[in-house]
Amino acid sequence: MKVNREHGSFRPGSVLGTDSFHDLRGLLETHGPLGTLIAGLGLGAFYLALTWVNLLLGHMLTPLFLIPITWLMDRVSARRRST
């Protein structure tokens, strides 16, 4: 198969030979070290925000579950003491 440089698709009529890497090297998209740095910073910011949101949700949602559970435990223990 040979890569069609215009559309990025394969032409079914030909077969890739042993030097297929050299045929495809011209089609490799690279944006250099600056692009890699920007992508790395973007991914780092994304995962930092994801971690922050998960920590914030855990911090904010814990009381929403703990407070009703303590009320329930108080009612159960009061009911056991009265009977």
pLDDT digits (tens, 9 = 90+) for 19-34: 555 666 667 677 889 9
Query: What does the pLDDT average to over 69-81?
Result: 93
Which residues have a Cβ under 8 Å from the Cβ of 27 and sit 6 or more positions away?
A: 3, 5, 8
- What pLDDT does 21 receive? 58
pTM of structure: 0.47
Query: In 10 A of CB 60, how many CB atoms?
Result: 9
Beta bridge partners of 11: 2
- What pLDDT does 6 receive? 56
Report whether pLDDT(40) > 70: yes
* Residue with the larger pLDDT of the pair 65 and 14: 65
- What pLDDT does 5 receive? 55
Percentage of residues of the chain with pLDDT beyond 70: 67
